[in-house]
Structure 1
């Protein structure tokens, strides 16, 4: 037993010595450098609001995971699930990006064409890193760009007659008739109230109609909203039910490019509601 004890003690000392040598901080260790990859700079999507300006541009960030002293090329492919076409909805001067010496990031410019976005058209472009001097990243090699037109809101441009207005209920559409935006008052940098004459004319005629106030909100450039606050729209004894009011029914939309407005509301009297209605104001 003493002999075995000595052998075990010797082996323990030998193992400890080997471990000490292996962990010596003065011994050189190899440095492992991961291979360079091409990426969209940790971004996977963006929103492009195309303005009526030939210089309107959206720059997609493209980069690498390292820096070198040479120029490297990254190429991309582009597709569109919404059938956006080059030369119609957008221009893409190049499908490659040059990453210069000492740099790890540059951008791919996309030029939206305002004339290609009629009405409420929204398009998506899908960019994918497809080749070049650097292999694509495994985790962010695809970038989705959503494009839609945008016009700066100029409140006073909304004033005037809307000769192609119409009212819509569950039985059909009625009009056209002329509604008029009499005034508009900003309430913040991206909200305002408007006063409208002849609102919901087809639904209420032949009863006299009060001017009403509606709200606009363009805080979200992708979601311009209208709302109709509760208010009396006709003081007459509407079909024997007394005064007629409007009440909100969700939100509508408006376009600062086309000067069109959609309002969602209910027509109510003290006894109840006549249902849900939509009014569209158009020039």
Structure 2
């Protein structure tokens, strides 16, 4: 994150772990960021590919890849807890909860072979789609391995991520409920197609939910789209509205963000003495 100094003498292993998991500027920090991003993409792609009728050998390979990445993410999860200044706070951090839920189904099957029977049905399969939410961890702040972006750009990225997340998670949940009983849903692509058509209100009618779970997933996805997308968009509009303001705080009433040529606070009238170039 911004403002982090390089590690030096006298730091504990815990400090070093915390630094590199948060750092975006050093070679090691950038490498960790890129590696986690790539592994997250592969993790999601494997989930999608497993819904298609590949050969048994390919399905086995997908399973090995999924287990390997899950173990890496488990190590990351443990290291984040180890390096956190407040471990209890980190444990209940929404990002940490998503990290754990994303790998939990795979680890359950890996630890308990008997769970393989139920791995592809019901709750255990449905929850695997949560792994897509791990991408939100990469948008915690404006610092990235490729540099720093503006607040406005970050909010646009979060809006696009929210739209894709709603489509992806809804499609994954819809597929989990429908693929065994709905003849029109054979793979993730069919489910994704249905969700896009349903949420954009096109409604061709060639795919319809036949289970209660599938119907409720459709309703939840539509409500999430109605609520979350305008909420994210409003943040972008608000950011654009304030882009010509100067972040000066009035010492009298505490109001922030004033016009560039303001000499007095527009709320209480206190003199704030903003610098303003008349040539602008």
* TM-score, normalised relative to structure 1: 0.20
Larger strand percent: 1
Q: Which has the higher helix share?
A: 2
Q: Which has the larger radius of gyration?
A: 1
Length-normalised TM-score, structure 2: 0.20
